[in-house]
Amino acid sequence: MQIFYSAQSAGFYADGIHAAIPADAVKISGARHAELLAAQADGAAIVAGHDGRPKIQRAKPTIDERRAAAIRHVKREAARRIEAVAPVWRQLNDQRAPSALGEARFAAIDALRAASNHIEAAILAAGAADLDALDIAHHPFWPVD
């Protein structure tokens, strides 16, 4: 069974299912059809290219969506850095048996959390150009190791 895409009707047709296939329809592979449908399920649109072939068109994220994505990235980076200072099991042990080393680890974690909060606040105030230039992993607010 061959699959076709019609730019005029913006629809798919299969030669074994549809009795009439539009004249402008172009053949596409089953893999391409699956790829297009998966992208559509993720929120993208299927549109006709200049050659009539189907292509994926993703909506440009809004500034708020970009900020939210950047904040998620900051939270992941903070979690990674905290894990490097003291994994959860170490933090629990430090709580159960306080020590000077444990206090130092908690101070380092607190500094990372404070840096994360400052970076997130900066992201909320950032414009599009600032978000484009943002390098979260190397942000100057992170404490120096």
Q: What is the pLDDT of residues 95-122, one digit of tens each?
A: 999 999 999 999 999 999 999 999 999 9
Look at the alpha carbons of 57, 60, 65, 68 in this order and tell me if their dihedral is positive or negative.
Answer: positive
Q: What is the pLDDT of residues 31-48, one digit of tens each?
A: 999 999 999 998 899 999
Residue with tokens 């929120």: 43
- Edge-to-edge strands of the sheet including 3-6? 11-14, 3-6, 26-28
Give the dihedral of Cα atoms 101, 104, 110, 113; nearest 10 deg: -80
Q: What is the pLDDT of residues 76-93, one digit of tens each?
A: 999 999 999 999 999 999
User: Is the separation of the CB atoms in 75 and 89 below 8 Å?
Assistant: no
- d(CA 63, CA 133) in angstroms, rounded, equals 14
pTM above 0.75, yes or no: no
pLDDT at 42: 87
User: Is the separation of the CB atoms in 135 and 94 below 8 Å?
Assistant: no
